[in-house]
Structure 1
């Protein structure tokens, strides 16, 4: 197998030739068809998330075909297509797992962070955390749904039922969840880097009723705002534009420090909440909803060997939609 491996945080990935992995009991092996490149991958590669498995194969938006299975695997067969997300395994017995909040498990494994992921031709996965996928669909189009879509969905649920939704950072997650918002009959207000006319036009093409810089104010107060950009100063900015009783949802796994702000921005029962990881129920719910909503992903394909280029394009904001590696 071939893999793009991280040997030390802050350094480029290195192409490696490795023996094909062998699935153990309760494991499956996938022939990777496509793997999305997520901002979380950047946080791992750039050293902003601590203690990754090293050496590490990043990537947690995996679409692949089951080509080998260990013992004690039920419900899957050789040749099935599945998707593997960020949450790769949970303990099943901590208080959070027992409460149905496995996204907060005390002893989890995360794909492409604490276990090898999909920047490779093959990978090993826990079948309990692999979602069945349509064999006839385009694997490149599906891949961004497995994190950008899932965390976008969890963020939207956390935002509540309000009709006017602001989205800060119009990248992979935003371009997916904006389509769901429009299908649900909500209005989308897109906030981009100031002066980024291309991103604002992209947002409008997906149905946003307003698009402007993150330093701008929308024409009316919003019911909720979701922040996908990892910029802490956007939290008080979002509080300024939501109505009384509104909610700001921080949708990323990493964010720069939130600066101090006047209490009056939070008063009148405004809320700041975060989302962490996902649950398998999130995956099942969203993967049923996405085709109903007619979600179409905007993708740019890269060969496996160009993983560093894809990461650089994401880091520098040169992408509309999502980058996807195709081994």
Structure 2
């Protein structure tokens, strides 16, 4: 027996696919109906309830991330119910609420996987890039990379935690923020507004730099010490760049105090201007990138978030309007996070 079903699994599902990558205004996405795939031995068949909308999905639709396969379905912040369970899956049961995130699989045997750095696995696979994602009614994922969703969260609140929250957690760790330190956040979208709350709960002083007036208001509501269009009012111990804008890198480095670290959290970044060593890197300033996350990051963040209960600023769209959600994201019309309702 290949799988254990929970009631009747639908044989067809709606799904958005990247028909032809290009500017979002050109309509790169298409809504289709297609057959569903039963789960393999280690997989879960999930009936999608909610999927968060991430800037990575926009990068895929617009071609900043080269598609790994034609007509790929984006989406990697998925909350749903288990419909079918592969015969070798343990720990998940039909009807259970489950989360699917960005990291979809690794080899488990390379030197990175063996040393706890599976996010750097050369054979890593990603939901919504290597496999079809959650901009759909139905999803099949490897159960070993799925998460249990914390109790007390609505589906809409939980979905953004699975990427915006987790990647923000890893970026905060990579930024080497000292206890009680001064943290700068450049860009204040889905991930940053969750990361700010995590940093504040840990005792940090948070300064936000963003062009968006509504995002600056949200940052101050959440407890940021300042929110500016241009620069923080004091030197920073650490900073995280969430905006995919390379020209912000020199400015963020220049805002660091001696020994400070800038972590770049995006999967895509426009060209970085030349750096001046004396101004941007001397006095042991550090520039580092953030690449995906490990499952250990995911479990650690979800446990901390369950205690913290960060406020999630939601913008809701029906699944049929995923293209509008991405257009709003591209145009800067979303403050907080966008989620698609597939129920």
TM-score by length of 1: 0.97
Of 296, 306, 312, 1:297 maps to 312
Q: Answer yes or no: is 1:144 the counterpart of 2:160.
A: yes
Report the RMSD for the aligned CA atoms in angstroms.
1.1
Q: Residue in 2 aligned with 1:78?
A: 94
Q: Output one character per residue of 1:111-154: Cα deviation in whole Å (capped at 9) or x when no partner.
A: 00010000001100000000111355200111011111011000
- Equivalent residue runs for 1:185-264 within 5 Å: 185-193=203-211, 196-213=212-229, 215-216=230-231, 218-264=232-278
Distance between the aligned counterparts of 1:308 and 1:197, measured in 2? 24
1:56 to 66, 72, 76: 72
**C-alpha distance in 1, partners of 2:140/2:308?**
31
Q: Distance in 2 between matches of 1:51 and 1:96?
A: 24
Decide which of 251, 261, 266 is 2:281's aligned counterpart: 266
Q: Which whole-Å CA distance do the structure 2 matches of 1:121 and 1:137 have between them?
A: 21
Tell me which residue corresponds to 2:186: 168
Secondary structure at the counterpart of residue 35 of structure 2: coil
Aligned to 1:8: 20
- Equivalent in the alignment of 1:98: 114
**Structure 1 stretch 30-39 or stretch 131-140: which is displaced more?**
131-140
List structure 1 segments (4+ residues) > 2 angstroms apart after TM superposition.
Answer: 134-137
1:277 lines up with 2:292 in the alignment: yes
Give me the whole-angstrom Cα distance separating, in 2, the residues matched to 1:157 and 1:303: 34
Structure 1 portions without partners, runs of 5+: none
The 3-state SS of whatever aligns with 2:214 is: helix
Equivalent position SS for 2:192:
helix
Matched-pair contact (CA < 8 Å) for 2:188–2:210: yes
What do the CA deviations read for 1:204-255 (whole angstroms, capped 9, x no partner)? Answer: 0011001101x33x22111011000000011100011110000010000000
Shift of 1:51: 3.6
In the other structure, the counterpart of 1:316 is: 331
